Copies of this chain bind each other. A is one copy, B any other.
Amino acid sequence: MKAAFAVLALLAAPLQAAPATTGDLGLVVERATGSLLVIDRADRAAIGRIEGLGDLSHASLTYSPDERFAYVFGRDGGLTKVDMVEEKVVARTVQAGNSIGGAISDDGRLVAVSNYEPGGVKVFDTETLALVADIPAAGKTIGLVDVPGRRFAWTVWDTGEVFLGDFSGAEPAITPLGYAGKNPFDAVITDDAHTYLVGLFGEKGVTAFDLWSDHPEPRKFLTDYGKTGEDMPVYKMPHLQGWAFTEGQFALPAVGRHELLWVDRARLEEVATTPVHGQPVFVIAQPASPYVWVNFATPLNDTVQVVDSRTHEVVATLTPGKAVLHMEFAPRGAEVWISARDDNRVLIYDTHTREMIGEFAAEAPSGIFFTARAHQPGL
């Protein structure tokens, strides 16, 4: 019977560690150590750690449709496929010298990465990470997003050009959509995949492309948006993926100013501004609520503010910890998980009482990503 017990013990160890379901799991990027924490909303805790992901100092990730795998885009050009059940790296390719983000196709078959060095977009098979397409660019590529129909859109920093790539056929079909403006720094797609919005750094304004149109064209708006002057230091470029879409409005982080800007979604016109605590980085909508939550650039990054999208007024100011880098909501909005890098903690707040209801240790945590993102176009 000794043999039987040995086998049992061997089998039992990985099985007990493996969660039966992945619906309420997530990953926290540990930026200094190149590792990921596996987190569980049911436990309000970390349940595992995955190591060996390279340079995660500016990392993001996306999930497979079954929530089993995450595709992690590292600053060092590494694309890593991680198994959420086995809690391990299952494939990794350093596919460029410096990458800035990526996306998964609507059918879950392709993962695309936008690269700085050399610029361009590489597309991989999600099963094997085999290279499927290599699309060069005349500069650094930014703002890569998934577009329904096995397509991706992206933008080139150096030339200001926007492209739509269709990977549904035997050969990729790449369509230039036109000139967005000087030095686009980031782009985002709305949750209905209708509008691709490109933020500019080299000039003022935001440029919109209607991706429901057969022939999308650049449409510039918010021509007051951007860097105010040479004398205004920008401590951290805001993340446009954090644009909140609520009450028929976009809420944008102003560049370099202590302000949110509210834009009417249909008319693309500024409707209000909200003075806030610092330079906003992420502006994220609390699901099923009128509220957006905002974090800030250094040195004012110990604070989070909550703003009402109806009145455009700050309704709460919290100080969760040192160097708040990211916030992620439970998908029905009941709680928000906040990373405090310099406290080495993740804090969990009840969104209704706005009180802390949990916390756990993490090594210099930055991005927090729940698996529910697998089901959201554009994430």
A85 touches B333 (CB 8 A): no
A377-B290 CB under 8 A given contacts A20-B18, A42-B65, A248-B248? no
Copies of this protein in the assembly total 2
B106 touches A65 (CB 8 A): no
Chain A 19-60, CB within 8 Å of chain B: the 1/0 string? 011111000000000000000011000000000000000000
Q: Does A316 contact B (CB under 8 A)?
A: no
Residues of B within 8 A of A378 (CB): 288
Chain A 326-352, CB within 8 Å of chain B: the 1/0 string? 000011111100000000000000011
Q: Which has the most chain B C-beta neighbours within 10 Å: A289, A334, A376? A: A334
Q: Which has the most chain B C-beta neighbours within 10 Å: A15, A22, A146? A: A22
Q: Which has the most chain B C-beta neighbours within 10 Å: A22, A42, A65, A85? A: A65
Q: Does A168 contact B (CB under 8 A)?
A: yes
Q: Does A149 contact B (CB under 8 A)?
A: yes
Determine the residue in chain B with the shortest Cβ distance to A245: B192
Q: How far is the CA of A247 from the CA of B330 in the complex (A)?
A: 25
Report the stretch among A1-9, A136-144, A180-188 that lies at the interface: A1-9
Q: Does A216 contact B (CB under 8 A)?
A: no
Q: How far is the CA of A3 from the CA of B84 in the complex (A)?
A: 32
Residues of B within 8 A of A11 (CB): 8, 11
A374 smallest CB distance to B (angstroms): 6
Q: Does A371 contact B (CB under 8 A)?
A: yes
Q: How far is the CA of A135 from the CA of B85 in the complex (A)?
A: 41
Mark A residues whose CB is within 8 Å of B.
Answer: 1, 3-4, 6-8, 11, 15, 18, 20-24, 41-42, 63-68, 84-85, 106-107, 146, 148-150, 168, 191-194, 212, 246-248, 265-266, 287-290, 310, 330-335, 351-352, 371-372, 374-378
5 smallest CB-CB distances across A and B, nearest first, come from A23-B67, A331-B375, A193-B288, A288-B377, A372-B375
